[in-house]
Structures are given as structure tokens and as C-alpha cells.
């Protein structure tokens, strides 16, 4: 399997896991930072998930460009 296909699959998997983490609800979600509706809001752990996703995507892009 080529390096770029592996990176694309990794990016898709990380994105899928991140969506699951953001869509799920947990008692461990932390405090609500921004309330969107009566039943939905942005929790502290959502910011951590987005930051981790962005870091992983930046690494994937860096690896993609490195192996032109």
C-alpha cells in the first residue's frame, strides 16, 4: 500500500473517531463552555478533541508533502 493511501486512511480514521467523540455524550464531558440550545453545547473536552484532531491533520499534511 502506498504511503499516501496510508495517510489518507489514517486521516479518515482520525476524523471518524473525532466525530464520534464530539457527537457522543458522557458524564465526563466537563463543563459547558458555550450553550447552543437547551440540550446542546460545547464542552471542555470538545475543545481538546478538536485540538488533537487539528494536530493529527497537520502531521498528516506534513507527511504528505514530505513524500512528494
**21-37: pLDDT as tens digits:** 888 777 777 888 999 88
2-14 confidence digits (pLDDT tens): 999 999 999 999 9
Q: How confident is the model at residue 68 (pLDDT cuts 50, 70, 90)?
A: low
Angle at the Cα of 31 (from 26 to 34), degrees rounded to 5? 105
* Ranges of each domain in the chain: 3-66
Amino acid at each position: 500500500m502506498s504511503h499516501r493511501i496510508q495517510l489518507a486512511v489514517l486521516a479518515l480514521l482520525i476524523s471518524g473517531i473525532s466525530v464520534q467523540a464530539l457527537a457522543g455524550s458522557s458524564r465526563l464531558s466537563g463543563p459547558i463552555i458555550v450553550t447552543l440550545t437547551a440540550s446542546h453545547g460545547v464542552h471542555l473536552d470538545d475543545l481538546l478533541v478538536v485540538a488533537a484532531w487539528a494536530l493529527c491533520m497537520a502531521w498528516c499534511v506534513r507527511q504528505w508533502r514530505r513524500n512528494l
